[in-house]
Copies of this chain bind each other. A is one copy, B any other.
Amino acid sequence: MDWQQEYKDLWDLSKKIRTYDSILALLHWDQETYMPSGSITPRSEQIALLSSLIHEEKTSHKYKTHLEKLVSLSTGKPHAKGLSKKQLVATREWRKEFLRVEKLTPAFVKTFSQTTSEATQIWAIAKKTNNFKLFAPFLEKIVGLCREKAEAYGYTEHPYDALLEYYEPCVNTAKLGAIFDKLQTELKHLIKKIGSKKQVDDRFLKHDVKDAKQMELAQLILSKLPIESGYSRLDLSAHPFSTALHPHDSRITTRLLPKAFMSNLFSVLHEAGHSMYEMGLSTEHFGTPLSEAVSLSIHESQSRWWETLIGRSLPFWEHFYPLLQKEIPDLKKVSLERFYRAINKVEPSFTRVEADEVTYCLHVALRFEIEKELISGHLQVVDLPEAWNAKMKEFFGIAPPTDTLGCLQDVHWSLGDFGYFPTYALGNLFAAQFFSTFSKKHPDWEKQVAEGNLSFIREWLKKNIHEWGRTYDAEQLAKKVTGKTLCETAYCTYLKKKYKDIYEL
């Protein structure tokens, strides 16, 4: 048997699927950026068709046969001889992915795609008109489908485990619950301490900055980040996102809020972090798991890295603030220190996406608790708004005046993405862990960043995280890079130190 040829054959099949995935990504990107508003129906049909094709290809007899030549599906023991370490990793991950995908029937995939496509449109209207009742029957269907999905994937403890695993395989509900418990205690304590201090004045961040100027600023910041030109682009969409068709075609979007110009810049930094991860994946192994992100948590660690650890740091603005002041003359009378405190102001708020670093993870913990209950059936969809508001009261001491600002705020549930939210918090934890190692390796990072030098950061991320693809799972990667497994300590230490200085705690 020519094992190299066998490997190559499976790779070809896998690359074909990855290429279809890229095309699907373009359909989604276009829908959110430039698609004429009246063509949502044909677009849904295009997406459903391509999604079905991808599922067919992933579960085809041909694919299975090729995979089984390389590895035993039941035990995971490789049959192939003489494969390199990297090839063994790819084979291992191909098998894992196949076993997962195979559990869903084509009919289920189609129903799921159609239901969520319809639900997303309804959700947008419901959010706009603060009409939870309109969305409720769709959400009920989706919760039902997610339960079905959990049953199909299988689990030992909690049905939510099965959903969680899709986005972050290295944790389960119990482990996550324990981490969130500790995190909540620490965060609530920190919030309380901050709350007793004088509030930060951030009124100057609410200046009206015109769209064109906001886009100029976004492009200015992007041009100073260590990103290869020609492989990326920035556009506008209702909600910022990033998508990669290939390491050489990695796109981001932002949105412009007239009275919150920093929101746009932090979105750009966030999405650029995702984008740099995708651009840092191997082109040589494109089409194999060696050229894929580890998990959504690790992806989020990269976006939060650039948005918060770098992008909300003092040295970053030592370099960028003078540039910003040049573009927004009103800021000339505001000192760097005041600006720095303002962009790091901590206060309870209704929405996750605009939350500060300290309260952010509480928003996620809230969703985690609600998702678990919805999936287990302990919470009914009809009771969601009440449960949401009660939890808001419990976590933040405030309740949203509308469902638009409450349980309707995020798109994820309409997309059927139950199990996704926790990765937003885990991303912060991983990022802080990585950063702790990085800053020991580069003790002069603040000085360098203050001089506008950011390339060494990307090089470190590439070498330690991006280039490995799926060689390690999230926890193994953390262990390899930092010597420690997943843990909230680094994040809490980081927050406590940062906000001690800002709020003089």
Q: Which positions in A face B, CB cutoff 8 Å?
A: 16, 19-20, 22-23, 26-27, 30, 34-39, 41-43, 45-46, 49-50, 228-233, 235, 245-246, 248-251, 286
A22-B46, A249-B43 known; A228 and B16 CB under 8 Å? Answer: no
Which chain B residues border A35 with CB–CB below 8 Å? 249
A248 lies within 8 A of B36 (CB): yes
Contact B34 A23 (CB under 8 A): no
Q: How far is the CA of A41 from the CA of B230 in the complex (A)?
A: 12
14 contacts between A and B (CB under 8 A): A19-B42, A19-B49, A23-B27, A23-B50, A26-B27, A36-B231, A36-B232, A36-B250, A36-B251, A39-B248, A41-B248, A42-B248, A42-B249, A46-B245
- Residue among A23, A36, A49 facing the most chain B CB atoms (10 A cut-off): A36
User: Provided the pairs A23-B50, A46-B23 are in contact, do residues A39 and B249 lie with their beta carbons within 8 angstroms?
Assistant: yes
Closest to A47 in B: B23
Decide: B230 and A38 in contact? CB cutoff 8 A. yes
> How far apart sit A254 and B16, CA to CA, in the bound complex (Å)?
34
Cβ distance A241 to chain B, nearest Cβ, rounded Å: 15
Q: Kindly state the separation between the CA atoms of A37 and B246 in the bound complex, as whole angstroms.
A: 13
Give bound CA distance, A363 to B268, whole Å.
49
A133 vs B296: C-alpha distance in the bound complex, in angstroms?
50
A357→B228 CA distance, assembly (Å)? 46
Determine if A49 and B246 form an interchain contact, defined as CB atoms under 8 angstroms apart: no
Given A36-B230, A36-B249, 4 other A-B residues pairs in contact with their CB atoms under 8 A: A22-B42, A23-B27, A35-B249, A38-B228
Say yes or no: B231 contacts A39, CB within 8 Å. yes
Can you list the 3 inter-chain pairs with the closest CB atoms, starting with the nearest? Answer: A38-B230, A39-B249, A42-B246
Set B16, B34, B36, B43: member contacting A49, Cβ < 8 A:
B16
